[in-house]
Amino acid sequence: MSTFRLRIDHPFPPELAGGAVAIGNFDGVHRGHAQLVSELVDEARQVGGPAIALTFDPHPLRLLAPERFLPQLTTPDDRAAYLQDAGADHVILLETTPGLLGLHAEAFLELLLRDRLQARAVVEGFNFAFGKGRGGSIQLLRDWCRSNGIRGRIVDPVTESHGEPVSSSRVRNALNAGDVAEARSLLGRPYRLRGTVVAGDHRGQSLGFPTANLADCASLIPGDGVYAVRSGKHAGAANVGGNPTFGQADRKVEIHLIDFQGDLYGKPLAVDFLARIRDTQRFDSRELLMKQLAEDVARARDLELQDRLEDVLRREVGPALEIDGGAVEVLGIENGVARVRLGAVCASCPATIMTLVTGIEQELKKHLPEIEYLEAAP
């Protein structure tokens, strides 16, 4: 797997030729994009070439209408990594230039797909538009593929039980509202924010909870609130917003990494948002604030551990014990005790429950020594 940074007016590497191609902004690389890449891979295998996902850097709106540009949901490098995780063999980050944006629809297809990539198949979403002024339609793409002997596949949107399609706009709306759980459901993974750690006013350290102040964030900052987060191997608590207790209205992103020792100033930091803990609020005294911060950190630690527990249940324990990972629901963790509920398929017999809980507990301790034991809830 490789990521290529290319320009339309330069030749493309030969290893990109003769495969299946999907073109799009892929902002967020959500579940709908993942489904499109899955079908792209299927087409690539049928034509015997690579699965190529092509996206743009910078976003075309930065050049065409900067006043309408909104913060993106991923950095270009993260977007490429997520597309490869979804199955793409190679990702092209195509430099957005006035010349590229000035290509009319058919010229865009001929130069990019026929000449540069020699595509044998094209896979696109139902709402794909392309070329100058987004003048190219799905029907034009179908006709062009047919006339050039290229396989064309249009992918339907991924919809949820209520029928609403998964989209980048929905992810953005959820994040703006601070609903990182909804964003995670749409993305299929926790939302990641990247930035650079800068010096703050050191107030967190004076309260016993030193924070890394994140600046120059490269993507959308979630709505104000306190969150459970993870950075690398460290659980953390993040405060997004002002500090009303001390009369500070400036919006900041402050990260307390639990049990972290070291200097982060001037270094890049990536933070995954796992769950929302509470709204930002004003406290009448430092003591009340410190008490709440201690509760927030404890809650963040438990939520991060619960997140890892659910992942281990799904990826490691379920297959090892030949049970469906979804048959075990994690209700919560407190002081090393994980409360779980077994699904109906497991809960028909008390002896079965005890045997299964014992097996899960033993398997979990191989991966999560922080879990002391399991408690099965009715």
16 & 120 share domain? yes
44 & 126 share domain? yes
- Residue that is last in its domain, among 155, 180, 209: 155
pLDDT at 257: 96
Q: Is residue 198 part of a domain?
A: yes
Q: Which pLDDT band, with edges at 50, 70 and 90, does 242 fall under?
A: confident
- Asked if pLDDT for residue 130 goes beyond 80, the answer is yes
> Structural domain of residue 69, as residue ranges?
2-155
Q: Is residue 182 part of a domain?
A: no
297 & 327 share domain? no
In angstroms, the CA 169 to CA 362 distance is 43
Closest Cα to residue 243, out of 207, 196, 191, 271? 207
80 & 29 share domain? yes
82 & 138 share domain? yes
For residue range 203-224, what is the model confidence (pLDDT) as tens digits? 666 566 888 999 999 899 999 9
Q: Is residue 180 part of a domain?
A: no
22 & 145 share domain? yes
Q: Is residue 166 part of a domain?
A: no
- Residue that is last in its domain, among 245, 268, 301: 301
Q: Which pLDDT band, with edges at 50, 70 and 90, does 361 fall under?
A: confident
Half-sphere exposure of 221 (CA within 13 A, CB side): 18
Residue 350 phi, psi dihedral angles, 5° rounding: -55, -40
In angstroms, the CA 227 to CA 184 distance is 13
For residue range 3-44, what is the model confidence (pLDDT) as tens digits? 999 999 999 999 999 999 999 999 999 999 999 999 999 999
Q: Is residue 40 part of a domain?
A: yes
pTM of this structure: 0.91
Half-sphere exposure of 112 (CA within 13 A, CB side): 34
pLDDT at 209: 82
Average pLDDT, the chain: 91
254 & 142 share domain? no
* CATH number of domain containing 334: 3.30.300.130
pLDDT at 161: 72
Residue 103 tokens, joined: 């290509």
Q: Which residues pair with 194 in a beta bridge?
A: 270
Q: Is residue 371 part of a domain?
A: yes
Average pLDDT estimate for 91-119 = 97
Q: Is residue 25 part of a domain?
A: yes
106 & 32 share domain? yes
Number of helices and strands in the chain (H, E): 12, 15
pLDDT at 317: 76
* CATH number of domain containing 290: 2.40.30.30
- State which H helix or E strand residue 334 sits in: strand 328-334
Average pLDDT estimate for 337-348 = 70
For residue range 278-298, what is the model confidence (pLDDT) as tens digits? 999 888 888 998 899 999 999
pLDDT at 205: 64
pLDDT at 148: 96
For residue range 56-88, what is the model confidence (pLDDT) as tens digits? 999 999 999 999 999 999 999 999 999 999 999
- Residue that is last in its domain, among 130, 155, 180: 155
335 & 199 share domain? no
Q: Which pLDDT band, with edges at 50, 70 and 90, does 157 fall under?
A: very high
pLDDT at 342: 78
- Asked if pLDDT for residue 344 goes beyond 70, the answer is no
9 & 66 share domain? yes
Q: Which pLDDT band, with edges at 50, 70 and 90, does 50 fall under?
A: very high
What is the DSSP annotation of 354-375? HHHHHHHHHHHHHH-TT--EEE
In angstroms, the CA 271 to CA 230 distance is 6
Q: Which pLDDT band, with edges at 50, 70 and 90, does 250 fall under?
A: confident
- Asked if pLDDT for residue 235 goes beyond 60, the answer is yes
143 & 203 share domain? no
Average pLDDT estimate for 222-234 = 97
Q: Is residue 164 part of a domain?
A: no
User: What's the number of domains the chain is made of?
Assistant: 3
146 & 44 share domain? yes
